[in-house]
Amino acid sequence: MNKLNHVAFIMDGNGRWGKKRNRGRNFGHLNGVQTVKKIVKSSIKLKIPILTFYVFSTENWKRPQSEINFLFKLIINYFNKELNNVISNGIKINIIGKTNKLPLKIRSNLKKVIKLTKTNKKIIVNLAINYGSKDEIVNAIEKIKRKKNINVKLLSNNLYTF
């Protein structure tokens, strides 16, 4: 195992990258996916056990609907095309964030991806989609509020990552 246990990436600048090349923001998003792929591949080689990518924040709902749709479609298309590769490379996909607020199509796609990669052992890739840190805490409190002994371990076990 690598000394690095968990590396997180805040995805940023993809839209500007595409625009700078006169190909539009979505071109940047498209290429961003390839960068994520490269990072995962290298991290497996380096034996880093956990990665987190901040893919879509609670703030990103303010973007034009067309861009939001493109981003969700990008994720769905990626997994439709690459799920077999993800599985054969031992990648476990975990989603952190409020997924019940996402469109049904991406929710069911992600549900399938989580289920089919659940037992994979090479690397855990957390995708933060509609993620907010305070929301994560509220979500955990909702789950444990009726318990008698609320402690750090219980709270930790009920966060999106466990």
142 contacts Mg ion (rule: CB under 5 A): no
In the set 2, 12, 77, 80, the catalytic residue is 12
**Nearer Cβ to Mg ion (94/97):** 97
Q: Taking CB within 5 to 8 Å according to partner kind, which of Mg ion, ligand IPE, none is near residue 71?
A: ligand IPE
Q: Which of 11, 53, 10 is nearest to 29 (CA)?
A: 11
- The residues in 8-67 that bind Mg ion, with binding defined as CB under 5 A, are 12
Classify 149 as helix, strand or coil.
Answer: coil
Task: Tell me if residue 80 is catalytic.
Answer: no
As measured in angstroms, the least distance from the Cβ of 91 to ligand IPE is 20
**Nearer Cβ to ligand IPE (109/158):** 109
Classify 141 as helix, strand or coil.
Answer: helix
User: What DSSP string runs through 71-128?
Assistant: HHHHHHHHHHHHHHHHHHTTEEEEEES-GGGS-HHHHHHHHHHHHHHTT--SEEEEEE
**Nearer Cβ to ligand IPE (71/113):** 71
Binding residues for ligand IPE, per CB under 6 A?
11-16, 32, 56, 60, 71
In the set 14, 22, 31, 60, the catalytic residue is 60
Sign of CA dihedral 122, 84, 35, 32: negative
Task: Tell me if residue 135 is catalytic.
Answer: no
Give whole-number Cα distances, 78 to 19, 27, 74, in Å. Answer: 22, 15, 6
**Nearer Cβ to Mg ion (25/92):** 25
As measured in angstroms, the least distance from the Cβ of 43 to Mg ion is 23
| β-strand partners of 95 | 127
As measured in angstroms, the least distance from the Cβ of 128 to Mg ion is 14
Distance CA 152, CA 103 (A): 33
Binding-site ranges for Mg ion (CB under 5 A): 12
Catalytic residues: 12, 60
